[in-house]
Amino acid sequence: MRPNRRKAEPTIALINIVFLMLIFFLVAGTLAPPLESDLKLVSTADLDHAPPQSALVVHSDGGLSFRGEAIADTAQFMELRDNSEPFLRIVPDRDLSAHDLVELGKHLRAAGAEQILIVTERGLQ
């Protein structure tokens, strides 16, 4: 009488095939075509680090300003802003609390803002 032998599991072979396919595609494919060697990208290091003119500036104490002038609240900003832009830009102070920024976003949404962009230091660079 023969002892019952287990049949080999085919999962090891499948893992090996998937691993080899992964290696093949990593070597054969590129994620993005390389830039041309004579191409020089634009440098923005020398730009003035001022917020965009259409942005709502939020100071660390929660005060608001628009185009260099203090404003009372988000309703006044919604009246003064250019309605042709599809989104709002907010430039918050680094020391502004996240809670205050979220509350400001809620007020702007309630006032009719559909899309709000937060401009950061890297975005200005």
Residue 32 φ/ψ, nearest 5 degrees: -145, 145
pLDDT at position 39: 66
**What is the chain's pLDDT, residue by residue, as a tens digit (125 residues)?**
666 777 766 788 889 999 999 998 888 776 666 667 776 665 656 555 555 667 888 888 888 888 888 888 888 888 887 776 778 888 888 888 888 889 988 888 888 888 888 887 654 44
In the sheet that holds 69-71, the strands lie side by side as: 69-71, 64-66, 55-58, 88-92, 116-118
- Whole-angstrom distance, CA of residue 17 vs CA of residue 12: 9
Helix-strand-coil percent breakdown of the chain, rounded to 5? 35, 15, 50
pTM more than 0.85: no
Within the chain, residue ranges assigned H as helices are: 11-28, 74-80, 98-110, 121-124
